[in-house]
């Protein structure tokens, strides 16, 4: 199985500052078609997860441009510029390259 | 509006069986692969498995494939998860998700809570 390892944030993050969440995969998520099958989701308190980023760097429909994804085949970063109260929650990375699909353990974001 | 509504959760005894349902609306259900994902009380997310749009193929997490079965009824726009011989470690919130065309889970239900306890 591909293991997804997420880093922690130095919470709380001051409102208006940027925050970067890291995720590492045990195997390259770069497909032969050139796409990297790494997704990011946000689970706000009391809600279901929602898709933020797919193919490592493509924002899902309706997602603020304050969210950006980047990385290589095995190391990934979700950057949130100018964090706001609505960004509070747990962020999960997920690989969709091969079965079984796997998630990171989650990174909690708190705002000061 | 895309909606996924799970039902069938609750308190169940160890060793029993339970069947969860997920009714979809707002999109053509038969066009999409669908998945089940669970979240433990400690917030760990675990993919359970998925099913092809026509129901002809399924994939499962190896640790669960002997006890869990995913099926669907496209005429009813409903996804199912049959759980057998449940254990305490199956206690979780179970989410139904739609798999989008770009290899994502682009829609999630509100979740069904399952507690396994005697």
Q: What is the pLDDT of residue A11?
A: 85
Give the pLDDT band (50/70/90) at residue B102.
confident
Contact A51 B111 (CB under 8 A): no
Q: Which residues of B touch A29 (CB under 8 A)?
A: none
| Spatial contact of A78 and A53, defined as CB atoms under 8 Å apart | yes
Q: Which residues in B have their CB inside 8 Å of a CB on A?
A: 35, 43-47, 50, 59-62, 95, 100, 102-106, 108-111
* pLDDT tens per residue across span B20-74: 999 999 999 999 999 999 999 999 999 999 999 999 999 999 999 999 999 999 9
B101-104 long-range Cβ contacts below 8 angstroms, 24+ apart = B102/A54, B102/A55, B102/A58, B103/A37, B103/A39, B103/A54, B103/A96, B104/A39, B104/A51, B104/A54, B104/A60, B104/A96
Residue B4 has pLDDT above 90, yes or no: yes
Radius of gyration for the alpha carbons in chain B, expressed in angstroms and rounded: 13
Q: Which helix (H) or strand (E) holds B96?
A: strand B92-100
The phi, psi pair for B63, rounded to 5°, reads -70, -15
Q: Which residues of A touch B46 (CB under 8 A)?
A: 103
The phi, psi pair for B90, rounded to 5°, reads -85, -5
* pLDDT tens per residue across span A48-106: 999 999 999 999 999 999 999 999 999 999 999 999 999 999 999 999 999 999 999 99
Q: What is the pLDDT of residue B101?
A: 87
Which of A1, A2, A33, A48 has the most B C-beta neighbours within 10 Å, making it the best mutation to test the interface with B?
A: A48
Q: Which helix (H) or strand (E) holds A93?
A: strand A89-95
Out of A51, A100, A102, closest to residue B104 by CB: A51
* Cα distance between residue A24 and residue A107, in whole Å: 13
Out of A48, A92, A96, closest to residue B111 by CB: A48
Q: Provide the percentage of residues in chain B whose pLDDT is more than 90.
A: 98
Q: Which helix (H) or strand (E) holds A40?
A: strand A38-43
- Mean pLDDT over A17-22 rounds to 97
Q: What is the pLDDT of residue A1?
A: 96
Which of A49, A55, A59, A106 has the most B C-beta neighbours within 10 Å, making it the best mutation to test the interface with B?
A: A49
Q: What is the pLDDT of residue A75?
A: 98
């Amino acid at each position: 199985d591909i293991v997804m390892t997420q880093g922690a944030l130095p919470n709380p993050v001051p409102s208006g500052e940027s925050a970067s969440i890291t995720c590492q995969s045990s195997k390259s998520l770069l497909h032969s078609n050139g796409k990297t099958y790494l997704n990011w989701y946000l689970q706000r308190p009391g809600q279901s997860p929602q898709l933020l980023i797919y193919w490592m760097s493509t924002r899902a429909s309706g997602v603020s441009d304050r969210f950006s994804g980047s990385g290589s085949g095995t190391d990934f970063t979700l950057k949130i510029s100018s964090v706001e109260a609505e960004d509070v929650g747990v962020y999960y990375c997920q690989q969709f390259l091969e079965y079984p699909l796997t998630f990171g353990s989650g990174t909690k974001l708190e705002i000061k | 509006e895309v909606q996924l509504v799970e039902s069938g959760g609750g308190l169940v005894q160890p060793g029993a069986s339970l069947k969860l349902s997920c009714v979809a609306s707002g999109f053509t259900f038969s066009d999409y692969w669908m998945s089940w994902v669970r979240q433990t009380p400690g917030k760990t997310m675990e993919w359970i498995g998925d099913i092809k749009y026509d129901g002809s193929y399924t994939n499962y997490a190896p640790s669960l494939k002997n006890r869990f079965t995913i099926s669907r009824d496209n005429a009813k726009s409903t996804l199912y998860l049959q759980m057998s011989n449940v254990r305490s470690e199956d206690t979780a919130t179970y989410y139904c998700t739609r798999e989008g065309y770009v290899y994502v889970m682009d829609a999630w239900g509100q979740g069904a809570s399952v507690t396994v306890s005697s």
